Amino acid sequence: MNSVAVYCGSSIGKDGIYREAAARLGKILAGRDMDIIYGGGKIGLMGIMADAALQAGGRVTGVIPGFLVALEVAHGQLTRLITVETMHQRKAVINEMSDGVIALPGGFGTLDELFEMLTWGQLGLHDKPVGLLNTNGFYDPMLSLVSSMVTEGFLKEINRDMLLVYSDIDELLENMENYRAPRVRKWIE
């Protein structure tokens, strides 16, 4: 992996542990000389992660729709800022530029981006590793739901296992580097 898409909240959350994890991820990715592609915001965990990577000498590309630039949430100090028209274009450009995906805690937007990448992987549209940095057990309730999808016959276990879940950044990155996409049909008969 040479480049990683990072999806995370445009809010900072209530617990400082989320801010610490975002900053640590940015610093570690920069230290590994990996290009970071993210949503281009200067606010929330997004801004914290980008700032930490930039301070560590990293390369950070933001992809942001014009309407968010107009709301003055675009980060002005990035290595590169790409402005697109729509949220759909944003996701497509981030996908094209990245070799893997990491999701940190966030809200609806983070989940949208995460599940779209998982769905595309499940359909064989990409072979990229999709990682979840499960800081402070934030995603435990969602992971329980995903396991219920398997139990109830709506998701294959091998497709659930496409989501690489770790609370340690180095362990997550190591498993992403060694990821091999499954070669099975999505549909359950």
Q: What percent of the chain has pLDDT over 90?
A: 92
Residue 188: per-residue pLDDT: 62
| Residue 139 pLDDT class (50, 70, 90 cuts) | very high
Within a 10 A sphere around the Cβ of 92, how many other Cβ atoms? Answer: 14
Whose structure tokens read 């294959």? 156
CA distances from 75 to 30, 62, 67, 168 (A): 17, 8, 14, 27
- Mean pLDDT (the chain) is 95
Question: 185 or 84: whose pLDDT is higher?
Answer: 84
Q: pTM here?
A: 0.93
Architecture of the domain whose range is 3-177: 3-Layer(aba) Sandwich (3.40)
Tens of pLDDT, residue by residue over 156-187, are 999 999 999 999 999 999 999 999 998 876 66
